[in-house]
Structure 1
Amino acid sequence: MTRIALTIGLLLLALALAGCRSMERPKTLGAGARVVNTVVGTSIVHASFNGQGMGGGGGEECCVSLPEQWRPGMTATIEWVKDPSPELNPDGRRAPPWNPDGTTPPEWQRWMKEHEANYVRRKVTMAVPKYEKVSSLVLVFLPCDEVYPLIDSAEQGRVLGGLRGREDRYPEMIRRLGGRQTCSGGG
């Protein structure tokens, strides 16, 4: 084989290997996940991060899969369902009581169907904030239908650390994340 043919062959092999390497899936880690809703008077019914579902109750759940290392250009699609008026239907009616045996009466089921029709569904694709060390995934829901994914352990400490109380901590969280405290339309 001539030198030129050998050089071309090695170049082609190097390009093929580089192409395969760029197609490698990033290594991932399993991490706990939770929702923090800073919007008083609403609740997050369900949320997902890149298709990985999470409940909206606020407690940590197991598990979501996150890339081990942050990469420039990394994005995430976050979807959520928001209840804009927990416990009340748009007309101001509260849910009828359940039966004494714990079953739901037909009136409650009708009320719930009306209630769920008022849910608001949102979806956003956004840049994932840079992270150094994966701690867990905390989706922080802010006023104006904004959401912030906290992944980095130091960033979680900066945003969530040293907060007091329950309701009164939300304005400070919003401030630390640079969000708006209020918005038009009550988002």
Structure 2
Amino acid sequence: MFCKSMRRGSYALLGVMLYGCSSAENEMAGGNIEAVNHTSNAINWLSVNGYRADGGGGSSCCIIMPTKWRPGLMAHIEWEVDPNRFAKIKRRAKGFGFDEEAWAAHKAKFQRHSATVEIPEWSGTDSCGLKVHFLVCNQIKVTTSCWGYGSSHNPIKEPLEMKEPAICPK
């Protein structure tokens, strides 16, 4: 008898939990992650809250975000930088492929960074995924704007191909 009533109680609790998850306040939807590089370095890859994407520009599928913005919505972003994206890796003297030692030396200079930033507010269902803008001094900005970079309506105004300053602010 006790087990039967516990089971009913568990089903009721599960029903309440599922109902709570289905409210409009907690609805989630998939969107793209887009990298916009404002630096002269290469962004090899990035991840936003564990959702990995290509750092080479364009959109990558997918990130799961709430359909309705709420205060305190954060994005934890990790990324890898190649500070010498135009490095020439020699081919092997004999055979095909790259010189593994030269590639290992180049790859050893890759840098990994991370930052947590607040996701700016969007209204209603006007979010168009998450765009991560990589700035000099390993700074980032994010936007959910549907306007493309360069539009007067896009909130990110920093130019592309920014030069790294001699000393980065702390």
Q: TM-score, normalised by structure 1?
A: 0.65
Contact 1:33 1:54 in 2 (8 A): yes
Say how many residue pairs are matched: 145
Q: Which among 152, 157, 160 is matched to residue 173 of structure 1?
A: 157
Q: Shift in Å at residue 181 of structure 1?
A: 6.8
**Stretches of 4+ moved more than 2 A in 1?**
23-26, 97-101, 180-187
- Structure 1: which 5+ runs fail to align? 1-15, 89-93, 163-171
Contact 1:87 1:95 in 2 (8 A): no
* Structure 1 or 2: more helix by fraction: 1
Q: Are positions 1:122 and 2:121 aligned together?
A: no
Q: Identity, % of aligned pairs?
A: 24
How many Å separate the matches in 1 of 2:157 and 2:92?
Answer: 37
The 5 Å alignment of 1:61-140 reads: 61-88=60-87, 94-97=88-91, 103-105=96-98, 107=99, 109-132=100-123, 133-140=126-133
How many Å separate the matches in 1 of 2:110 and 2:36?
Answer: 18
How many Å separate the matches in 2 of 1:128 and 1:95?
Answer: 39
User: Larger Cα Rg: Structure 1 or Structure 2?
Assistant: 1
* Residue 146 to residue 96, structure 1, CA distance change in 2 (3 Å): same
Kindly provide the CA deviation profile for residues 115-167 of structure 1, in whole angstroms up to 9, marking residues without a partner as x.
Answer: 111011101112111122111221110111111111132xx35x5316xxxxx
How many Å separate the matches in 1 of 2:21 and 2:47?
Answer: 24
Contact 2:46 2:77 in 1 (8 A): yes
Please give the secondary structure, in 1, of the residue aligned with 2:157: helix
**Which residue identity is paired with 2:46?**
A
Contact 2:127 2:145 in 1 (8 A): yes
